[in-house]
């Protein structure tokens, strides 16, 4: 009886380990880019391929220190903008985050 149970346990473990876990994952956004907008007051980001969301990230400066500002999550094909907050009015770097939906 113990041998049958052990054989069944090994067979079940083998079946579970062969099940693909990433097969249903959606593609991430691709062909993404970002930049600094007009008068360096904001940054923008967009993606033109894949699926999911993108958001702009602005690194803003007040001349002596920096702070980050984040745009809203936007669907691929739509532009996200991150505006510098009061006191940190100049965007000095642009980047972005992506996520699947």
| pTM to 2 decimal places | 0.74
Per-residue pLDDT of the chain (101 residues; tens, 9 = 90+): 445 444 444 444 444 444 444 445 779 999 999 999 999 999 999 999 999 999 999 999 999 999 999 999 999 999 999 999 999 999 999 999 999 98
Q: What's the rounded Cα separation, in Å, for the pair 37 and 58?
A: 10
Residues 20-50 as b/e (b if ≥16 CB within 10 A, e otherwise) read eeeeeeeebbeebebebbeebebbbbbbeeb
| Domains, the chain | 25-99 (2.60.40)
SS3 11: helix
Cβ pair 80, 44 in contact under 8 A: yes
């Amino acid at each position: 009886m113990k041998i049958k149970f052990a054989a069944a346990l090994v067979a079940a473990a083998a079946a579970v380990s062969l099940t693909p876990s990433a097969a249903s994952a959606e593609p991430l956004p691709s062909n993404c880019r970002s930049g600094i907008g007009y008068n360096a007051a904001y940054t923008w980001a967009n993606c033109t391929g894949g699926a999911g969301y993108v958001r702009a990230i602005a690194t803003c400066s007040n001349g002596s220190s920096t702070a980050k500002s984040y745009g809203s999550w936007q669907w691929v094909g739509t532009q996200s903008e991150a505006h510098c907050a009061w006191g940190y009015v100049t965007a000095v770097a642009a980047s972005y985050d992506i996520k699947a939906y």
